[in-house]
Amino acid sequence: MKNIVKCLILVLVITSCKDDIQHKRLVGNVFGTSYSVQYAAYETNVNFQEQFDKLFYIINKSMSTYQANSIISKINRNEEVSIDSHFRKVFDASKEIFKATNGAFDPTIGIMVNAWNFGPEGAIENLDKPKIDSLMLTVGLDKVERFDDKIVKQNERTIIDFNAIAKGYGVDVIANFLDTQNVENYLVEIGGEIRAKGINASSGNPWKIGVENPNFDGTQTIMKTISLANESMATSGTYRKFKVDENGNKYAHIIDTKTGYPSKTNLLSISVITKDCMTADAYATAFKSMGIDKVTLFLKEHPELKAFLIFENDNSELQTLTLNGFPENE
């Protein structure tokens, strides 16, 4: 996650005549992306911007690989440091999902993402099998353990990166704070990861969420619109970062955690709905590398996860697959 970028915060206050509800919207930048928080308040002076900024600062201080003095950066440099409650929650959840997906979700794979030039740094020229094999010795969350407030790595070169789960966790932190303030209607979104509660109080309607078409040209259009209430949704796609070989095969930016090589895939977008956004975020990432058949089998055993897949068939035509009751288009 990148550091918080200070910017002018836009506060939209729309007064509803019903019970004098104030519909507020706070927007800004955090974790290298944008965020938007909409919520209903009964008092005109209820503005949680200061509290949000403090929470974002704490999360960055814990898990931002872009902050040299963050807890995760110190762990990656093999320095002695105690983890906080945020790091512990995300690490423990990552361990659980790593095991459930047989390693398809792995926060230690970032070194290979960078090596293949899909990440922000560390691309390796003339990447060959010996180099890949050497780097893969550092990969595997099963090689990292937590003992109380300490993280112990079997290989000191192992790098942990919670980028594929931290945005969802950030959404949950903000949503949980709003719950403590007895806010009954809100929509929290960070970088496209979403958690909704209640309704849109300004309109009296359910919260409406769009699922994007997988457009390779960078444009944004909506494939379907759904209602979301008291659940979270995360979407992960392969269509923004990919390579094409001489045979026209697309190589996703998700690296196969077993081989260290980029995945060949026809799966373009995965949206996952579940209770908390951290879990949805992690599984949306894991499902990209698992492929359609494995995801379908996995979800038969996990009815708590709803999924919507967009993929290309053998004729390069878009197809969709709805699993476990993912909402229909409205």
The band of 253, judged by pLDDT with boundaries at 50, 70 and 90, is low
- What pLDDT band is residue 73 in, cutting at 50, 70 and 90? very high
Number of H helices, E strands in the chain: 8, 16
Which residues 6+ apart lie within 8 Å of 16 measured at CB? 22, 23, 201, 202
Give the position of tokens 């109080």: 201
Query: How far, CA to CA in Å, does 98 sit from each of 3, 8, 65, 314?
Result: 26, 38, 20, 31
Pair (33, 98) in one structural domain: no
Q: Flag the least confident range among 62-76, 209-223, 304-318.
A: 209-223
pLDDT of residue 10: 32
**Whether pLDDT at 201 is above 90:** no
Q: How far is CA 309 from CA 36, 112, 223, 316, 327, in A?
A: 25, 25, 12, 15, 12
Contact at 8 Å (CB) between 34 and 191? yes
CA distance 156 to 74: 12
| Pair type for strands 250-255 and 150-153 | unpaired
Average pLDDT over residues 256-268: 84
Of 98, 131, 160, the residue that ends a domain is 160
Label residues 153-162 b or e (16+ Cβ within 10 Å = b). beeeebbbbb
Looking at the predicted structure, is the pLDDT value of residue 241 above 90?
no
Domain membership of residue 312 as a residue range: 206-330
How many whole angstroms separate alpha carbon 154 and alpha carbon 140?
10
Instruction: Average the pLDDT over 153-175 and give the result.
Output: 97
- Is the separation of the CB atoms in 81 and 59 below 8 Å? no
Q: pLDDT value at position 312?
A: 85
pTM over 0.85: yes
**In a shared domain, residues 13 and 27:** yes
**Based on the domain organization, do 128 and 253 belong to the same domain?**
no
Instruction: Give the end of a domain, one of 172, 203, 234.
Output: 203
Count of C-beta atoms within a 10 Å radius of residue 197: 20
Mean pLDDT across the chain: 88
Q: What is the mean pLDDT of residues 250-258?
A: 73
β pairing state of 186-190 and 193-197: antiparallel
- Identify any residues that bridge with 150 across adjacent strands, giving them in sequence order: 147
For residue 70, being part of any structural domain is answered with: no
Query: Where among 151, 180, 203 does a domain terminate?
Result: 203
Q: How far apart are CA 50 and CA 172, in angstroms?
A: 17
